[in-house]
Structure 1
Amino acid sequence: MRTLKVLLATSAALLSVALVARPQAAPAPTAQAQSPYSYEEVMVPVRDGARLQTVILRPRDKTGPLPILFQRTPYGVPDAPPAKVPGNQVSLDKDGYIYVYQSMRGRFKSDGVFTLSTAVHPDKPKVTDESTDAYDSIDWLVKHVKGNTGKVGMWGVSYPGFAAAVALIGPHPALKAVSPQAAWIDYWKSDDLHRNGALRLSYAIDWLSMLQLDKTKDTDFQYDRYDTYDWFLSKGPVAEIDRQVFKGQVPMFTALLDHPNHDRFYTDQRWSDKLGKTTVPTLNVAGYWDQEDPWGSWQIYFKQAQNDPDHLATMVAGPWAHGWWQGPTAALGPIPYGVPSGPQFQEQIQAPFFAYWLHGTGLRPTSGVKSFQSGSWTWKSYPGWPVPGAKATELYLHADGSLSFTAPAASEGCRDYVSDPANPVPFRPRPMSGTYLSPDWSWWEAADQRFLQGRPDVLSYTSAPLDADLTVTGSVLADLAAATSGTDSDFVVKLIDVYPEDAAKAPEHPKPGDYAKSLSGYQLPIAMDVRRGRFLASDTTPQALVPNKVTHWDVPLREHDHVFLKGHRIMVQVQSSWFPVIDRNPQSFVPNIARATPADFVKATQQVCAGSKIVLPVVR
C-alpha cells in the first residue's frame, strides 16, 4: 500500500502518486526558484481542532484562477517543490491545477493518532473520520488558497485512492470530481490484509509496521534472514510475530489476530455501505495484476452503478501492477506489449476527466467500463459490467491432468497430493526479499509459474493448443469438487496462459540469465486466489470440514479481460499453500489460525475430483 516505491526508482516523475516520505524540511530558496511550482506549507484546521500538515504547489506558468487537485496520504508530503513537472502530471499541467497534498491525521506533522480505520459516521457530524477530514480540508482550501476557482478534484493511488473515495461520503459542495485508484472497501475481503478471509501475512507485516511503528517516517521492516520465506517459517504461528517481534506496538496487526472472522470490526469499517446516489463524477481505476488492491475499486464502481441516474461513474482497468498506470508502462512485467498504456491512460482518460469536470473544457467523459485488454493489447469500451454477450463457459479439470470444455465422466475420480505446512508452496521464487526491498514484488503475479514445476504438492491441468483466440471478459470463478483428510484446509487456484514453445527466438549470444528470460513456454498467471475451508459455509462462524468429504469450493478469481491467443494453451494449477503472502493453514480446525500451536499444524492429503471446473465469461 505504500504506493510505487519501486516504480519511483525507475520514474522520478511520480511525485504526485508515490509520495514516499522523508524527513520534512523547508525547501531551499534555490529549489523554489528553479521549480516549475511555488511551494507553501500550511496547517489546516478541522472540526475537532486538529491541524493537518498540508503542502500547496502552484504552477508558475499559469495565471488566473485554477481548480485544486487534492491528495491525502499517510506516506508524507513533498518537502520541496519538484525540479521538473512529474511525468504523470504533464498532461494535467497543460490544463493547470493547484496541487495540494496533505498528511493524514496522525502522520508526520499532522495532529492526532493514525489508526488505519476506514469507518465513517455520516449520522454523527461531530465525530471525525477520514471523510470529515476531507470535507473540512476542502472547505478550508477553497476559502484560503489564493487564486482557486472554488472547484476541487481528489485523486490518488492506494491509500490516497481510499482517501479520495471516502470523500464521496457526504461530499463537500466544492468537490466536483474524484478518481479513486486502487482503493479498497473491506480489510477482510480481497485487498490488502486478507484474501477471502486468509491473512496476507508478509504484506501485513511490512505495510502495517511501516505505518504504525513510527509516525514521522516510512521505514522498511528489517528481516534478520536474507530469504524472508525462511524468516516467516521460523516464526511458527503468526501470533509469535506479534509477541516476539512487534510486542504489541503495531495495533492494527494485533487487531487482525483478535478478529479472524468477518465480524463487526471489519463490517463497521466498510465505508462503501454508506454510498447512496452517485452525485460526484468518479473515475475508478484498477489493475488486473494489482498485487495489493485489485478488488476495491471495482466494488466502488458496482456500488455507484446501482444508483447513477446521471451516468457519473466510470471504471478503468488494465494489465497493470499496483499504480503502474501512472508510469510509462508498456509491458506486463517481463512481457512487452509495445503500447504505452500508462501514458495513454494519463493523457486520454485521466486528464480529460479532470479537464471537463474542473475546467469545463473538452467532451463529457462517457460512463461504463474502459479496459486495456491483455492478450490483444487494445483498448475496449463496454457499457457496463458484466459485458453484453459474455457467456458463462465451463472449463473442466480432468483426472489425467488435461483441461477441456468437455464435462468429465463421474468415473474419472480424483487426483491427490499431500500438503505439508512445514514445507509450504512459495508464492514467488526464492530467495524472497521483503515486500518493498526489491522490484520483484511489483510483478510477482505475472511471474512465470514454471518455478513450481516438480513440486508434488502442486497439481497442473493443461489444455490442448487453442485452435482460435478465446476472449474472457468478466468475473472468473473456480468451482472445485475437493476434499481434505484434515478438518481445515486452503485451496489456491491459478488460471494460466501458457505461451507456445516457439513464442520467442533464443538469444544468439546470451549473457548469463538471458536464456531464462525468453517467453517461450512462459506460464503467465491470469487469475489467482485462495479459499479457506473454514469459511465455506459462513465467513462469520467458521466450521470444521468433514475429513475426506468431497465439497464444492467456490474460489472467486475476480474481474479480468484477457485474450488467450490461438496456439496458446490454458493451464490451471491447484495447491494448498501460498507462503508467506498467505499465512499457513494448520489443516486441523482451531478457533483462530493465528493463535494455533505448533502441534496443530499437520500434513493432509488433498483430493481434486471430477466436476472441478473454471467458469469463464467467454465473449465470442
Structure 2
Amino acid sequence: MAHAQDASLVARDDIPKTFDDVIPGGQDFTRKEVMIPMRDGTKLFTVIIIPKGAKDAPMILTRTPYNAGERAGNPKAMTIGDAVPLADAAFVEAGYIRVYQDVRGKYGSEGKYIMMYPPRGPLNPTKTDETTDGWDTIDWLVKHIPESNGRVGMIGSSYEGETVAMALLDPHPALKAAVPESPMIDTYMGDDWFHYGAFRQMMLGYVHMQTVQKGAGAVTPTDTYDKYEEYLRAGSVGDYIRSRGLEKLPFVARMMAHPAYDSFWQGQDLARLMAAKPSNVPTLWEQGLFDQEDMWGANHAWLALKAAGHAANNWLVMGPWSHSQVNGKGYNVGPFKWEGDTARFYNRQMVLPFFEQYLRDGQPAKLARVNIYNTGDDRWDAFDDWPTSCAKGCGTALTPLYLSKGASLAFDKPADAQAADTYVSDPAKPVPFLPRPVLDPFFGYGTDFAGYIPWSSWLLHDQRFVDGRSDVLTYETPVLTSAVRVQGTPKVDLRAMTTGTDGDFVVKLIDVFPPSVPSDPAMGGYQMAIAMDILRGRYRESFEHPTAIPANTPQAYAFELPNVNHVFKPGHRIMVQVQSTLFPLYDRNPQTFVPNIFNAKPGDYQPATITVLRSDSQPSAVWLPVVGKSTTP
C-alpha cells in the first residue's frame, strides 16, 4: 500500500498553485497592491505599506519609473523598518503610510511611457501628464485609505524628483509637503542630457535601458570593454547612435533633432514653469554637491522660486553626496570621508521633522532656509540665503582669481599687454574624464571591480591623472598661508582664441592638498576638484541660436560652475585646469562649425590650437565667491 502511495507522487506537482508564507509572530505592517485609475481611465500600479494599527497617519508618495514593486522593499520582512528602503525607515518607524507608484507605461502601470513626460501644453496636447497623474493619485489615496489623516507628502530622487516637481505645477489640496531630491529640472542646461550645450553621450545607455521595454531593460550591447575606445572608434555621437540602432528610440531621435536650447527644451524647464505658477506647498529641495548626473535642478528651481517671491515656503539642502546618495549611506564619496552618516542625518534630522511639521502639525522643524555641507571644514553650515557671494544681488561680490604668468594664479589683474598660453586640442586624442579603461556606468560593475573607478565618485577623482598633459593647461597659487573660504557659484570668464570655428571649454576649480598628509598619506598632493563644467563654444552668445566661432579672434566664454561651500586651508593650493574635452562622458566637438554636431562627418573633426589669453586687456579669470578674510597668493 505504501509503495502504491509513493508511486502516485509522480502524478503530482510538488509546487502548489498558491502558497502564503507564514511569518512567526506576523508582520507589523500591511502591504497592499492596487491599480489606481487616472482621469483618462488609465490605471497605475501602486504599492501601499500601512503600519499595523495606523490611525490618522500621514502618507508619503513616490512616483517612479524604476519598478514600484521593488522600490517598496521586501514584502517578506517581519518589521516595517526592514520592509522599506533604508532612507524610508525613519518615516515608517514614525507611523507614516508609505506609497510607491509606477508612472504610466512602466512596469505594472497601464498606458504609454513617455520619457520625461512633458507638461500639458505645446509639447503635450493631451489632457494628462505627471501633474494630473499625481493629482489623481493623491485624490484616490485620501478617499480610499481610511488609516490616513488625509495629508500627503511627496518625495523622490532623480526622475522621481522630477515627478515631485511636476506635481507642484498644480498641487492637489491634500499635498501638504514636497521633497524633490536631485530632480531632473532642466536637462539641457545642466542635468542629465546636456551641460551648457555639450551632449552627455554616456547617458545613452540609460535611455536604452529605460525605453526599449516596459520593464527592466539592458544597457546598449557592446563588444568593447573601454567606453573611451568604443565611442572614439564610432566617430560622431550620431554615428555611434546609428551603428547601434538607437535612432529608432523616439527619445533619442528627439534629442538628435534638438541640439540647441530651443522651445523643445525651454518648454520642459520646470524651474521656469514653477516660477511662472508657484505653489504654496512647503518644499524642501535637495542637491548633492558631487552629483554626477543632476547637478543643476534643485538649486536652480529654488533660485527661480525665490526670485518669484516664494522663498518663504521653499528650503534648500546641499550635502556632500553623489547622485541619489541620500537614499543610502553618506559616510563618504570616494576617498573623502565626512563626519558620520550625512545621509542618515539628512533623512532623520531634516526631512522627518519637515514632514512632521506639515503632515502632522508637529513641532516646527526649525530648518535654516539653506543648509549646505562645508566640504573643507567637514560640517553643516546654515544660511539665511544663498549664495552669500555672487556677481550681483547678494551680500558679497565675487573675487577674480586671474590666470597669470608662469602657470600661476593671482588675485591681482595681469599687467602684461600681451600674454597667453596655448595647447592643441586634437579630437583624435580627447582628454578622458576618468583614467582608462572607462566602463559603462549603467552596466553594474561593483566598486571593487579590478581597475574600476565608480561612476558615483568620478567628480572627486584625483585630477593628477591629466595634470601634465600637453592639452591641459594648469595654473595654481603659491602655498596658502591662511584659509580662503568660498560660498556660492564660481563664474568662469575665459578669454580665448581658436584656429577652429567651434570648440568646447572645460574649467576645473581644484583644491591641491599638501605634498605630505601624515594623517592620511594617500591624500598627499591630491587634486580635489570642488567644481567643474563644460561650455560648448557655439553657444557662447546664445544657447538657442548657435554661431560659428570666428577663427583666431578673441572671444569671451562665460559660464557658472556648480555650487561650492569649501575652505582652501593653509598649506593647500588653489588650482585651475583648462582643457577642451571630457571624453567619453561628453561627445567630441569636431572643432569645425556644423549645423548639428550629431551629424558631423569624419572630415569635420580637426585639431585646433587654443590660445588662452591672460593680458591686461583680455584677462581670463575664475571669479570666486570668497567670503571673510582671504590671503592674496
Paired position in structure 1 for 2:48: 56
Paired position in structure 1 for 2:315: 314
Shift of 1:554: 0.5
Task: Indicate yes or no: 2:202 matched with 1:202.
Answer: yes
Letter in 1 for 2:488: G
Question: What is the aligned counterpart of 1:459 among 446, 467, 473?
Answer: 473
Shift of 1:226: 0.8
Contact 2:87 2:326 in 1 (8 A): no
Secondary structure (helix, strand or coil) at the match of 2:220 reads coil
**Distance change (3 Å), C-alpha of 1:110 and 1:390:** same
Task: Indicate yes or no: 2:38 matched with 1:46.
Answer: yes
Moved more, 248-257 or 610-619: 248-257
Shift of 1:412: 5.0
Q: What pairs up with 1:95-174 in 2 under 5 angstroms?
A: 95-121=94-120, 127-174=127-174
Q: What pairs up with 1:203-242 in 2 under 5 angstroms?
A: 203=203, 205-242=204-241
User: d(CA) in 2 for partners of 1:330 and 1:601?
Assistant: 43
Shift of 1:445: 0.3
Paired position in structure 1 for 2:601: 597
User: d(CA) in 2 for partners of 1:250 and 1:237?
Assistant: 18
Question: What is the aligned counterpart of 1:81 among 75, 79, 98?
Answer: 75
Task: Indicate yes or no: 2:461 matched with 1:447.
Answer: yes
**Distance change (3 Å), C-alpha of 1:430 and 1:100:** same
Bigger Rg, which one: 2
User: d(CA) in 1 for partners of 2:406 and 2:59?
Assistant: 60
Contact 1:531 1:555 in 2 (8 A): yes
Number of aligned residue pairs: 583
Shift of 1:119: 2.3
User: d(CA) in 1 for partners of 2:282 and 2:412?
Assistant: 45
Contact 2:270 2:301 in 1 (8 A): no
Paired position in structure 2 for 1:363: 364
**Distance change (3 Å), C-alpha of 1:496 and 1:321:** same
Question: What is the aligned counterpart of 2:533 among 518, 521, 529?
Answer: 529
Contact 2:368 2:383 in 1 (8 A): no
**Distance change (3 Å), C-alpha of 1:71 and 1:330:** same
User: d(CA) in 2 for partners of 1:186 and 1:434?
Assistant: 24
Contact 1:37 1:82 in 2 (8 A): no
1:445-467 deviations in Å (ceiling 9; x for gaps): 00001111332101100111111
Paired position in structure 2 for 1:399: 405
Moved more, 562-571 or 332-341: 332-341
User: d(CA) in 2 for partners of 1:97 and 1:405?
Assistant: 53
Shift of 1:247: 4.5
1:419-477 deviations in Å (ceiling 9; x for gaps): 11011000111111101233410010000011113321011001111111111101111
Shift of 1:411: 3.0
TM-score for both structures, normalised by structure 2: 0.88
User: d(CA) in 1 for partners of 2:364 and 2:458?
Assistant: 38
Contact 2:182 2:324 in 1 (8 A): yes
Paired position in structure 1 for 2:11: none
Unaligned ranges ≥5, structure 1: 1-25, 508-517
User: d(CA) in 1 for partners of 2:24 and 2:253?
Assistant: 43
Shift of 1:332: 3.2
Unaligned ranges ≥5, structure 2: 1-17, 389-393, 448-453, 629-633
User: d(CA) in 1 for partners of 2:571 and 2:420?
Assistant: 28
Contact 1:38 1:81 in 2 (8 A): no
Paired position in structure 2 for 1:187: 187
Paired position in structure 2 for 1:20: none
Paired position in structure 2 for 1:293: 294
User: d(CA) in 1 for partners of 2:520 and 2:288?
Assistant: 31
User: d(CA) in 2 for partners of 1:233 and 1:220?
Assistant: 19
User: d(CA) in 2 for partners of 1:73 and 1:471?
Assistant: 39
User: d(CA) in 2 for partners of 1:584 and 1:261?
Assistant: 16
1:532-559 deviations in Å (ceiling 9; x for gaps): 1111111122111111111111031022
Paired position in structure 1 for 2:58: 67
User: d(CA) in 2 for partners of 1:160 and 1:454?
Assistant: 41
User: d(CA) in 2 for partners of 1:374 and 1:571?
Assistant: 16
User: d(CA) in 1 for partners of 2:536 and 2:338?
Assistant: 35
Contact 1:487 1:545 in 2 (8 A): yes
Contact 1:27 1:81 in 2 (8 A): no
Letter in 2 for 1:183: P
Question: What is the aligned counterpart of 2:621 among 593, 603, 613?
Answer: 613
Shift of 1:391: 3.1
User: d(CA) in 2 for partners of 1:389 and 1:301?
Assistant: 18
User: d(CA) in 1 for partners of 2:248 and 2:410?
Assistant: 51
Task: Indicate yes or no: 2:411 matched with 1:420.
Answer: no
Moved more, 524-533 or 113-122: 113-122
User: d(CA) in 2 for partners of 1:31 and 1:452?
Assistant: 56
Shift of 1:228: 0.9
Paired position in structure 1 for 2:438: 432
User: d(CA) in 1 for partners of 2:226 and 2:24?
Assistant: 43
User: d(CA) in 1 for partners of 2:29 and 2:469?
Assistant: 55
Letter in 2 for 1:38: T
Q: What pairs up with 1:244-263 in 2 under 5 angstroms?
A: 244-263=243-262
Paired position in structure 1 for 2:6: none
1:501-524 deviations in Å (ceiling 9; x for gaps): 1123577xxxxxxxxxx1110000
**Distance change (3 Å), C-alpha of 1:291 and 1:34:** farther
1:371-403 deviations in Å (ceiling 9; x for gaps): 111101111111111226433101011131011
Shift of 1:187: 2.0
User: d(CA) in 2 for partners of 1:472 and 1:319?
Assistant: 15
TM-score for both structures, normalised by structure 1: 0.90
Paired position in structure 2 for 1:350: 351
Contact 1:291 1:442 in 2 (8 A): yes
Letter in 1 for 2:551: P
User: d(CA) in 2 for partners of 1:458 and 1:125?
Assistant: 48
Secondary structure (helix, strand or coil) at the match of 2:202 reads helix
Contact 1:119 1:271 in 2 (8 A): no
Letter in 2 for 1:46: M
User: d(CA) in 2 for partners of 1:459 and 1:249?
Assistant: 40
Secondary structure (helix, strand or coil) at the match of 1:454 reads coil
Paired position in structure 2 for 1:264: 263
User: d(CA) in 2 for partners of 1:309 and 1:88?
Assistant: 28
Shift of 1:342: 1.5
Secondary structure (helix, strand or coil) at the match of 1:55 reads strand
Shift of 1:566: 1.3
- The two structures, once aligned, show a CA RMSD in angstroms of 2.1
User: d(CA) in 2 for partners of 1:132 and 1:307?
Assistant: 23
**Distance change (3 Å), C-alpha of 1:271 and 1:331:** closer
Contact 2:186 2:296 in 1 (8 A): no
Secondary structure (helix, strand or coil) at the match of 1:400 reads helix
Contact 1:478 1:493 in 2 (8 A): yes
User: d(CA) in 1 for partners of 2:20 and 2:396?
Assistant: 57
Shift of 1:330: 2.0
Q: What pairs up with 1:497-536 in 2 under 5 angstroms?
A: 497-504=511-518, 518-536=522-540
Secondary structure (helix, strand or coil) at the match of 1:48 reads coil
Letter in 2 for 1:590: V
**Distance change (3 Å), C-alpha of 1:361 and 1:521:** same
Moved more, 429-438 or 243-252: 243-252
Q: What pairs up with 1:2-17 in 2 under 5 angstroms?
A: none
Shift of 1:364: 4.1
User: d(CA) in 2 for partners of 1:27 and 1:614?
Assistant: 65
Shift of 1:36: 4.5
Moved more, 73-82 or 425-434: 73-82
Question: What is the aligned counterpart of 2:492 among 467, 470, 478?
Answer: 478
